[in-house]
Chains A and B, each alone.
Chain A
């Protein structure tokens, strides 16, 4: 940055000081409108969530101070705690599958990345990112129903025995919801990783080939390390999507059957607006926000080389 550095003797100190303070003034004027919106609709609500979480309040009548009792309940009430556990289980589907599968696919199609087919694929694989999650939820509820396409395909390949209502079975509902999330996020991850791969110097691969490295060695020692940042992005985006999932679950299972797919986002919604436990909802919301930050930050640290 070519900015006057303290120590360099400036020619006209008064004028520079004046210019800088004018710039400071203007700077604040430029920031304040944006900050005002942010403060009113994000910072204030965060502060209020923190405040509500210390009360028992039905949202209509007067409230009672309960201290940290709501937080204690979040971690002891099985219904509430299980929703947090479910969110972590969803990470397997929302993050692990798209990233691992995305890496594999991207590595396989790396060589044909410039072909016409790949260009078409780029468009097609992005579709799940563009449509509302609600639509994805509706479409998949239908696919996964007992008479849906998924069961139809399974029967076709001779797996008629495992067919079931995937979203209505206590043991498969959560994985089924997870698969919807994987479907939404797989395309994004694949293309993101593919874009990263195109930046890897081909000479690296040539050299590895000459050394007699197989595809696996190539993948492990060149592809993955070079993609550290892209992988970090994929993991961050997908983990947040898993922890804060709402739309898909709301549409496909409403948290059922038997709370098997209850996630924090949906639980907050139910607590605040149907069970009218505003304090409890807020405590869970605080836990969720802290969890997201606690998980997103280290991933960023680990994968970004040096921040500016």
Chain B
């Protein structure tokens, strides 16, 4: 090496340049534009999609044909509207929601948990549309879960920030052929009878429950919440999900539910590889006849009626005591409009169309398998009595009678599903987490997430 490093003028200049580039001026976020709270401005007249060409940006969930079926029909009726649709799995949507809404707001988006989105003013306040379209005259329970107080807490009251494409509900699907093999002629009426059916299936060499619990989505949350509903009232669980002050998931009845779930795991009622099964795998296994029960939602009714016609039944999780009230997870298929969406009016018009158009309601029932949103006296398409769809719609009526609708425990905060429920449920399956530990861990994460916000 002939030349040695000579710290000279050029070096000094370099250091200055790098320093300037670091631009360490001001704290992060101090100079980025803050989205302002969108107070709902009164609308002049009812919004429409107009007649000029409009391209709506949609962000939907993978694997669910309903939104696409609706948008296709909508474009048929309103040819000036075209759709740019992006799809992702629900876990990915949950991850992407805040930044997509902040930086590239879609006109219509499948929403995960909304509290934090509302807090950051990322969602359009729909009160104005609700008034213009008369949504506020629908049965109030339909929209309750989509209302939020100022700053996003608590949920269940306040302004409307999202809409449902339908009102879906979860429960237990069962394979009628396998049920006949174990002599289950009527759906179990109590938890005890349900346990007996599981045991019989196991003895007969049938997988009692096919469920998903792999990747980033812990599907054992479905049976867990069903068991919670068997053991206790839905009210406290809803309070927890709605982030009411002082609410906790770590209650005695929930503990009994979690212990019951653990017994199922230990008894081998789930598939051995449940921690590696994703939603799609679960569906194809159930359709393939590889299991008796599946905890899932009525959004699959239409699909199951098509894939295994006449062979599937639906039941609500039976209560612990005979004749007890029933409750289940039941929530609108939530869609929202970005606070800064370009075509908000047209998106709102679409949402209203979904709930009120005759053809749209038919699609909602046939493809979606769930109850449409809308006025109580709105048109209901006929459904053949031997279909699962008929079963789920009837169950929906039962739940309404018992006032047993709960939101999903995975919707309590934006991160609670991926960060807390999923890993802890996966550990429970592997025997590395106890029922008590599960609830405590989730509650701790819940508390710290609420403090952080």
Contacts and interface: CB of A to CB of B under 8 A. Distances in A.
Contacts of B116: 276
A52 B419 CA distance: 22
Given A62-B27, A254-B215, A256-B215, A168 B276 contact: yes
Given A61-B29, A256-B423, A273 B95 contact: yes
Given A47-B22, A168-B214, A257 B423 contact: yes
Nearest to A308: B1
Contacts of B99: 59, 273
Contacts of A146: 272-273, 276
Contact of B273 (A3, A48, A61, A165): A165
Nearest to B29: A63
Interface stretch (A37-45, A152-160, A179-187, A211-219): A37-45
B10 interface: yes
Given A47-B21, A258-B275, 5 more contacts: A28-B10, A57-B27, A59-B29, A165-B275, A273-B96
Given A5-B2, A48-B22, A257-B423, A39 B17 contact: yes
Given A44-B22, A169-B430, A55 B275 contact: no
A258 B424 contact: yes
Given A47-B21, A60-B102, A254-B215, A168 B29 contact: no
Contacts of B122: 60
Contacts of A274: 94-96, 414-415, 418
B427 A51 contact: no
Contact of A40 (B21, B424, B429): B21
A253 B215 contact: yes
A1 B1 CA distance: 8
B370 interface: no
Given A52-B28, A275-B415, A256 B427 contact: no
Interface in B388-446: 414-415, 418-419, 422-424, 426-427, 429-430, 432-433
Contact of A168 (B1, B2, B275): B275
B102 A51 contact: no
Contacts of A253: 215
Interface in A274-308: 274-278, 308
A29 B116 CA distance: 49
A84 interface: no
Contacts of A164: 272-273
B276 A167 contact: yes
A260 to B, nearest CB: 8
B318 interface: no
A257 B418 contact: no
A145 interface: yes
B29 A258 contact: no
6 contacts: A51-B22, A59-B99, A62-B34, A170-B426, A258-B275, A274-B95
Contacts of A5: 2
Contacts of B426: 170, 256-258
A170 B275 contact: yes
B216 interface: yes
A169 B95 CA distance: 24
Contact of A59 (B1, B98, B452): B98
A43 B32 CA distance: 21
Residue in A146, A166, A169, A258 with the greatest tally of chain B CB atoms within 10 Å: A258
Contact of B432 (A3, A170, A256): A170
Listed from nearest, the 9 A-B pairs whose CB atoms lie closest are A168-B276, A165-B276, A165-B273, A274-B95, A47-B22, A257-B426, A258-B426, A168-B275, A146-B273
Contacts of B272: 146, 164-165
Contact of B29 (A1, A60, A166, A257): A60
B24 interface: yes
Interface of B: 1-3, 10, 17-18, 21-24, 27-30, 32, 34-35, 91, 94-96, 98-99, 102, 116, 120, 122, 213-216, 272-277, 414-415, 418-419, 422-424, 426-427, 429-430, 432-433, 452-453
A275 B99 CA distance: 11
A255 interface: yes
A308 B423 CA distance: 50
B275 A270 contact: no
A75 interface: no
B341 to A, nearest CB: 17
Nearest to A39: B21
Contacts of A256: 214-216, 275, 422-423, 426
A259 interface: yes
B170 to A, nearest CB: 22
Contacts of B21: 39-40, 43-44, 47
A164 B274 CA distance: 10
Interface in A1-17: 1, 3, 5
A41 to B, nearest CB: 11
Contacts of B95: 270, 273-274
A145 B423 contact: no
Contact of B277 (A62, A168, A277): A168
Given A62-B27, A145-B276, A3 B3 contact: yes
B28 A278 contact: yes
A159 to B, nearest CB: 16
Interface string A214-243: 000000000000000000000000000000
A130 B4 CA distance: 41
A167 to B, nearest CB: 6
A170 B28 contact: no
B346 to A, nearest CB: 26
Contacts of B34: 60-62
A51 B423 contact: no
B275 A257 contact: yes
Contacts of A169: 273, 275-276, 430
Contacts of B418: 270, 274
A210 to B, nearest CB: 42
B3 to A, nearest CB: 7
A259 B17 contact: no
A1 B98 contact: no
Residue in B91, B98, B102, B116 with the greatest tally of chain A CB atoms within 10 Å: B98
A300 to B, nearest CB: 18
Contacts of A52: 28
B18 A60 contact: no
A108 B397 CA distance: 73
Nearest to B119: A61
Given A170-B427, A274-B95, A65 B27 contact: yes
Contacts of A63: 27-30
